[in-house]
Every structure is written in C-alpha cells, then in structure tokens.
Amino acid sequence: MKDYCQFYIDGEWVVPTTVRHLLVINPATEEPFATISLGDAADVDKAVAAAKKAFETYSCTTSEERLSFIHRIIEIYRGRMDEIAKTISEEMGAPISLSRAAQAPAGLAHFLEAARILVHYQFERVQGSTLMRQEPIGVCGLITPWNWPMNQIACKVAPALAAGCTMVLKPSEIAPLSAYLFTQILHEAGVPPGVFNMVNGDGTAAGAAISSHPDIAMVSFTGSTRGGVSVAMAAAPTIKRVMLELGGKSANLILEDADLERSVREGVQACMRNSGQSCNAPTRMLVARSKMTEAVAIAKRTSEALKISEPYQNDTEIGPLANKAQFEKVQRLIFKGIEEGAKLVTGGCGRPEGRRKGYFVKPTIFSHVHNDMTIAREEIFGPVLCIIPYEDEDDAVKIANDTPYGLSGYVSSGDIERARRVAKRIRSGNVHINGARLDFSACFGGYKQSGNGREWGEAGLEEFLELKAIFGHAPAD
C-alpha cells in the first residue's frame, strides 16, 4: 500500500492537522492501492498563510525570473512523463496508450504555452497619459477533477505561476497521486516556498474552506455544474473572482454533405475516448433523418470494434470508469434511456461480457433520441452516445443549442464555408470543424451552465491578472 498522507505547505512535506485517511481505489480492480489524508479548514489556513506570505515577494518577480522556473519545470516534467502516465492509468483507469499520448503530455503542453506567452506578453502599456498595468490577482485556490487530472492541474498552475500568483491546490481525492508527482516536480524545480501549496481533501471540507477563505483572491474550479454552484455560493461573501469550467452536453452536427462514414466513426471514437469522461465529449450526434439508418449502422460497427480491457494493455481503447459512484450513475442513466423509449443500438446496462469486477461499462449507443429525453439533457460522463435526427440545418442548430450547457460543439461538412457559418451559430465556448483538434494556445471554457471565464493561452493567463490604471503616468500631449 502506497502512503501519500502528507501535504505540501511552504516548501515542505507536512503531516495533516488532523489525520483522516482515505483509501485510493484502482478502478480496474476495485482494490485499494494507496492511502491519502483528507485535509480540513486548519490545513487550508496553513497553506493560505504560506501563500499569502510568499505573494509579497513572488508577485514582484520579473517575467524572466518566472520564465526560468517554468523552463525548469518543463525539463523535469519531460523526464518523468512515463511515470506520470502510468500513475494516471492506475488512479483513474485511462488506457495507458491514452495516458502516454494525451493525459500526461497535456500537462506539459500548458507549461510550454505559458513559457511561450511570457516571452512576449506585455504586462504594462501606456494609453495616452495612463499606464495600463496587469498585476497578479493574489493567492489563488485551485480545485481540480479526476477525469484529466494532470491537464486540469497544469492549465491552472502554469498561468498562475506565469502571472506572479501564489496558490493552494486541492486535487481530486479520487485521483490524487499524479498531483503528488506534479508537486515533486515543482519542488525539484526550485519554485520558492509558499508559492505552490498542495492540500488533499474532499469538497465539503477542504474545497469549501478554499472557496470561502477571505485571504484567497480567486478560486478556479473544474468539475460538475452542481459543484460549481457550491463553490460560487461559498465564494460570494468574500467577493472573490470565481472561474468555473463545468459540465457539457456537446452536440456533433453531421451535416448532410459531410463524409458520413468518417464523421460518424470519428464522432463515436471521440465520444468514447477516456471512457466518455470528458466534459467536451460529443455525446449528442445530430444526423439528417434521411441518413439515420446508415449513420446508426456505422456507429454500431465502430462502437463494437472498440477493445475494452485493463488500462495497462497497450491495445486497450476503453478502460474502466474512474470510480464506483460514476459507474452507478452511468448505469442509472443507461436504464433511464431504455425506460424513456430511446432505441438501444448496442451496449446497455451491466458490465461487458466476462467482466466481474472493475468499473467497466459497455460502450452504449442510443438512436432515435428526442432532445427532451433525460439522456439528451443530462451529462452522463460515460461511454454513452445519443443519436438525434434533424430535418434541416436550422433544425440541427436549434437542437444543438437546446441545452443548459455550452462548452463545446462539433460541425462536419463537405463545404468548409458552410461549416464555418454553422459553427458561428453554435452557442458554446469552442467549436471543432471537421474533426479539428484542440489548440493549447486558444481559450477553453463554456457558455451557460458550462461555466464562466476561460483557461488556456493568453486568455487563461489573464484570468489570474487584475487590470490597474495609473493616471498621470506619462505627460499629456
């Protein structure tokens, strides 16, 4: 049993104020393999005090000084990439091929992007006689999820460090071990004591303490919409900035002039990737009614070809869900889809054939789904795809936008100008045209109940900055 029961505060590994142990479960075996401690308000207080003290000096560092820390982090991170990938697969079940190709590299990508931005970013500019100055906002509370653990940590920590902020990280208690490796990397890189602090814990204790803490100037949260509401409510009395990256129910519009075989196949694969545990997964596939039969056949064939197995097998494409609660939620929603009359094409309730343990779910596809069904409204966060028919382009856009969420959208068309036109009509924070990949230099965030604020790139850096106007800085003309 691995022991990860210490927290990282003020540049040192320390024991919790009150020892409360939690077992970390391997989702492929349902067996515990590590132990962490759950922090409380007293631990958060210590971490915030260290960050507040460090802010006095770190906020005054130059871009060049901060860039040197980031370059050192990049160097060390690269040397531990495979260790990070293996840890992520063990703690949350991602196939090792995905962990090596995407989960672990995503964290590095955010630091590379922060380094690129720092080289040219202008924190000060003169506007007439006024100096417009961007300053670090202060101590930041960072609360991250279990589905892309290193990506979500790095996309907050990298811009916070680049901006000159200090911080307290609370990683998910479900997938906390990659956060320990990340903390070791920052320690080895020589990040000054108190600049970065890490306290494990759950949302009701450590998360709530961070959200409500009067000395935290900003809280950045990634997780469920319900969790985001709780964070925002706890933060409101102290009028701190709140950045929320929440749920999604992204529509994949396959227009009638698209390459149907390719678009459906890639749409199914994107929905099922990471066992469907991505907030931007294209979980609603919109297909012209005249092409439903053909599209459903392609989707069924693609889904049933996916290999479900243990995360450490190199050819595994679908691993287990990350935890028991998520497994049970997905099972309930699959049953709900059947109960409400959606046509079950493949998959369904229960584990895949031959699986007696592990949080494995059958890749499931429903067709002829109405957009008012529960499975079309709620974020399932599992390998479940809804195929919804539409009558024409306007109807497709209407269905796509008929959701409380607005994180991502997908548009496929053989006419690039048409795809661009439709993409602009989708009410979401980002849209992928013809399978375009994510761009780490762009912004990431949502409309409506998918959150507020933006991460990644320059937009992500600016979330950690306050804009100050110094009047009379330069002589008036």
Catalytic site residue 90? no
Closest CA to 127 of 461, 466, 468, 460: 468
What is the C-alpha separation between 62 and 90, in angstroms, rounded? 39
**2-4 and 31-37 as β-strands: parallel, antiparallel, unpaired?**
parallel
Q: Is 245 known to be catalytic? A: yes
DSSP assignment of 26-47 equals ETTTTEEEEEEE---HHHHHHH
CB 52 within 8 A of CB 44: no
Q: Tokens in use for 443?
A: 């912004």
* Among the listed residues 309, 302, 409, the one whose alpha carbon sits nearest the alpha carbon of residue 345: 302
Is residue 357 packed enough to be buried (19+ CB in 10 Å), middle (13-18) or exposed (0-12)?
A: exposed
Helices vs strands, H then E, count in the chain: 16, 21
- DSSP label at residue 444: B
The residue annotated as part of the active site, out of 155, 165, 271, 279, is 279
End-to-end CA separation in angstroms for the chain: 70
Q: Which of 90, 91, 173, 245 is catalytic?
A: 245
Is the alpha carbon torsion for 430, 157, 28, 225 positive or negative?
Answer: negative
3-class secondary-structure state, position 266: helix
User: Which contiguous run of DSSP H or E holds residue 231?
Assistant: helix 225-235
Active site residues: 245, 279
